[in-house]
Structure 1
Amino acid sequence: MRRIWMRLALTFMAVSASGILISTVLSIKEMDYHFSMYLNEVNQQHEQDLLDILENEYQTGLGWDDQTYLKLKAASSVLGLQFSLFDQEHRLIRTFGKAVNPEDTSSVNMIPIKERDHTIGYIGIQYDNSYAMSLEEHFRMAHTNAMQWTMLALLLLVCIASIFIAKRLAKPIVDMSDASRAVSRGDLSIRVDLPQGEDELSVLVHSFNNLVQSLQKQEELRKRLTSDIAHELRTPLNTLLAQTEGMLDGIWEATPEHLEATRSEVLRLIRIVSDLDQVIQVESGALNISQNEINLTNVVGGIVESMTAAFQLQGIQVKSYLKSTAWIMGDQQRIAQAISNLLTNALKHTPPGGEVNVTLEQKKRIVEVKVVDNGTGISPEDLPFVFERFYRGDRSRNREKGGTGLGLTIVKGIVEAHQGNVAITSEVGKGTIVTLTFPAIRNPA
């Protein structure tokens, strides 16, 4: 199987090699063109130099002297040219320079020699094409070799850089591939190192880590739920088993009081199963919520009134402060259940002589319900987990008071199903404040 970094590296190499090859070919062609232009300019300069000598040395009525011919001979040697001097009638005066093979010469270029706009003669220059071609070929070969070595060096550098960059780019993907295989084997503790930057690859790695973390959390919750359910059911089932075995063995008489104790354990099992069923519905989004206009003020007031007797039996004072007539959209029975669960919690954790206050107030388009008690409070380490199912800061105390550890989980699910929010603040020894907020459908009255 070809690894992704190899495919990336080969792609980088192919693109880079194509660019280098095209650049090299264009560079060679461009250099050849400019070198040819350079040779033409050199030839033109040679022609101008010869014309300058002839025009400056010309003597009116006498022509050119031997001194001029010596200069022309020296120039032909230096410039490597063969040229001939002609008079006004194109008659040959003298030829300078070594003889050139006719096959290696270009056509004679007759250039007029002027003095004061009058033609006084002509100079015919024959270029040694073999020399020019040799020079041009030598330059072309030198330049081509240099470009080839440069191209090879660049290709080597590109190969090394492509492998390095490809491995660096592919590392998070390879790590995620390895991590995903580990996750498929059940290892949810693995994480992929985040690459530097904030590009799409970093976002992908971050999302993958969040996904694995979420799966790990769900797995831990599933295991804990299984353990908690087993723990919650074990106590009443063991109690029922002991009671029924005692009755069968004749150790425990089937008196009305004993049967009532057995019935209480059965009811407790039923309550646990019922609450658990509601929690499952809430967390799966299958909780049946009807949508009706609800006078939340009346609902809260009715729940407080119906539970006042229970508070009084415990020596606890409960008061309601309903400052607004608030309307929300939702299921009245579910809302009443959430408020009742909060008051039941406050009743369980507020000592005799304590006080529980329920307030309702509408602020613009938000309805706020608060349940405030001065009970035992919740420790800071327990506070973040109070809405998790079966969570108890003090398991034995809650069990003795009839709690299943699901009440606040149900409250949170019901409130959020009504597009509301739940917040809780608490201090050990001072009490707890639970705040529910709902979107209002009418202005405050």
Structure 2
Amino acid sequence: MTTTEANQPAPVPGTTTARTTTGPAGTTAEHGRARISARVRILLWLLLVMTVAFGSVATTVRTILLRDTDQRIADLLAQEAVEFTQFEGRGIDPASGRPFTDPARLLRVFLERQHADADEELIGLVAGPGPDPAKIIQQREIPALLPLHEDTVARREIFGSPDATGTVERPIGDIRWAKVDIAPYGGDPQAAFVVAFHPQREQDRADEVFRILLAISGVALLMTTGIGWVVAGRILQPVRLVRAAAAQLTEQDLTRRIPVHGRDDIAALAETFNAMLDRLERAFAAQREFVDDAGHELRTPITIVRGHLEVMGDDPAEREETVRLVTDELDRMSRIVEDLLLLAKAERPDFVTPEPVQLAELTADVYVKARALGERDWHLGEVADAEVRLDPQRITQAMVQLAQNAVQHTGPGQRISIGSRAEGPHIELYVADRGSGVRPQDADVIFERFRRGTARRGTRGSGAGLGLSIVRAIAEAHGGRASLHDTDGGGATFVLTLEEARP
């Protein structure tokens, strides 16, 4: 056992675990990690929320039932106490036809006329010589385990209490009570009317409803678990497809796409992922193309440099010529690398920075700069008078590259025209020369990388074949295109066609 393994803490059940190993250099590699899927997490959160909701509903219902029971018992006790008070105030003894003078007789007559509800006791208590008051009860079967008329301790407590209402707490069941004292001549009460209620059965009914709600909630949770598992699986299916597609993506294969169904957020996620794959595919293609192009074009000058250096002798003239050739090849490699980096940058969104530009002024500036490229018959053609949004530096770079291309394929004194014009919703900037033109077979490939025309006066240009590729990249970055046409009277006309964007 290694030191790293010996110091690892013991895994805690239910937690995420990972196994690591330490290599010779002290690096740590993660072999695996237990994960809880999004489907399970969604289901767990759903069950947690549903459990809290169902539990809250059941508890609330039980609380409401118990509160209603307490209120109903309080109303019942108050009603019975009021009825006795009213009877006492205007009651007439049916035997004598006169008001009651004996509290026991008053209680007995009143109780004979009453009918107690279930779980309710109506009792008359009369003070006697002993500690326990005498009881006068309405004969009725009470379902309580120990009715009040059989509980001497509870009767003594109620009769001696100074309160009009209260609760006797007993292990076998509480008693809610209300009392009306009878003291005809003032002083201590000689008797009392007591109405008692046993709330245990009412409370048991509330508890039974609570248990039924819990059972229903449990069944609902089970059904929710099954339905939620199926629904979450269907909703997350595109996410699993995204994950599977991402796991299968490699630099060599970026062609997989996620099928899009519906118009919800998951479909939007799949569309966004597909768009990301499109961008990745283009980026990797541009990277591979850059590497291939750089390797292809740089191999030749490197070979030339190496060859001249290997055969270079001690003769000063030979050394000077070798240094000149090597320097020339290094300059050419530097230009190739700069052009390739520029083409690679063309894939970025910040390659061009449009701004309001006067097209006539831009055309004139390009014309002035191009005149220094060679002794030609430079001519400023038509000029469009419009204000448009474009990147003046990139457009100038493209136009100067076209002018340089025209200089390379024309002779001294031959005409080269530079101009701009508005054509409907587009603008065009062009460079036209009177050279030998471009062969039809070259017109389709002349804008590709490292492809050069072969018909310009029967010679090949000295460049790497990236200039026109840069021109096309600048045009496409502006949402336009670069094209080639024959010049009237002979020669070639290169045109940048751009969307006219008003500032």
Q: Say if 2:132 is the partner of 1:96.
A: no
Deviation at 1:321, TM superposition (A): 6.6
Q: Please list, as runs of the form range in 1=range in 2, the aligned pairs for 1:18-57 lying within 5 A after superposition.
A: 18-55=52-89, 57=91
Structure 2 match to 1:216: 281
What are the superposed Cα offsets for residues 76-112 of structure 1, whole Å, 9 maximum, x if unpaired? 355653322879xxx9896533485432966255415
Closer, same or farther: CA 207–323 of 1 in aligned 2, 3 Å:
closer
Structure 2 match to 1:62: 98
Bigger Cα displacement from structure 2, 172-181 vs 295-304: 295-304
**Aligned mates of 1:162, 1:323 — CA distance in 2:** 66
8 Å contact kept, 1:335–1:414? yes
Q: Say if 2:473 is the partner of 1:406.
A: no
**Aligned mates of 2:210, 2:384 — CA distance in 1:** 93
Structure 1 match to 2:312: none
Q: Say if 2:176 is the partner of 1:142.
A: no
Q: Say if 2:115 is the partner of 1:76.
A: yes
Report 1 or 2 for greater relative contact order, CA contacts < 8 Å, sequence distance ≥ 6: 1
What are the superposed Cα offsets for residues 394-437 of structure 1, whole Å, 9 maximum, x if unpaired? x8879977477532323467899xxx968447697796532799
Which consecutive unaligned segments of at least 5 residues does structure 1 have?
237-268, 287-294, 325-329, 362-367, 438-445
TM-score in terms of structure 1 length? 0.56
Deviation at 1:127, TM superposition (A): 1.9
**Aligned mates of 2:56, 2:459 — CA distance in 1:** 85
Deviation at 1:13, TM superposition (A): 1.8
8 Å contact kept, 1:300–1:339? no
Q: Say if 2:499 is the partner of 1:433.
A: no
Which consecutive unaligned segments of at least 5 residues does structure 2 have?
1-33, 128-132, 142-146, 160-177, 301-328, 347-360, 386-390, 422-426, 488-492
Deviation at 1:178, TM superposition (A): 0.8
The match for 1:184 among 250, 253, 256 is 250
Closer, same or farther: CA 52–409 of 1 in aligned 2, 3 Å:
farther
Bigger Cα displacement from structure 2, 222-231 vs 167-176: 222-231
8 Å contact kept, 1:82–1:97? no
What are the superposed Cα offsets for residues 145-193 of structure 1, whole Å, 9 maximum, x if unpaired? 2222232133224423542454355444322221111103743122234
TM-score in terms of structure 2 length? 0.50
Deviation at 1:44, TM superposition (A): 2.0
Q: Please list, as runs of the form range in 1=range in 2, the aligned pairs for 1:30-429 lying within 5 A after superposition.
A: 30-55=64-89, 57-58=91-92, 62-63=98-99, 72-77=111-116, 80-84=120-124, 95-98=137-140, 100=147, 101-103=149-151, 107-108=158-159, 109-111=178-180, 123-127=192-196, 129=198, 132-133=199-200, 135-164=201-230, 166-168=232-234, 170-184=236-250, 186-193=252-259, 205-221=270-286, 276-284=336-344, 300-304=367-371, 306-307=373-374, 309=376, 318-319=379-380, 338-343=398-403, 357-359=417-419, 370-371=429-430, 373=432, 389=449, 402=460, 406-411=466-471, 423-424=480-481
| Bigger proportion of residues as helix | 1
**Aligned mates of 2:267, 2:291 — CA distance in 1:** 36
SS in 2 for 1:31: helix
Report how many residues are paired: 354
Closer, same or farther: CA 407–198 of 1 in aligned 2, 3 Å:
farther
**Aligned mates of 2:274, 2:291 — CA distance in 1:** 26
**Aligned mates of 1:182, 1:399 — CA distance in 2:** 52
Q: Percent identity?
A: 17
Closer, same or farther: CA 281–29 of 1 in aligned 2, 3 Å:
same
8 Å contact kept, 1:5–1:163? yes
8 Å contact kept, 1:113–1:122? yes
Closer, same or farther: CA 57–77 of 1 in aligned 2, 3 Å:
same
**Aligned mates of 2:251, 2:486 — CA distance in 1:** 47
8 Å contact kept, 1:20–1:151? yes
In the alignment, residue 124 of structure 1 is paired with which amino acid? F
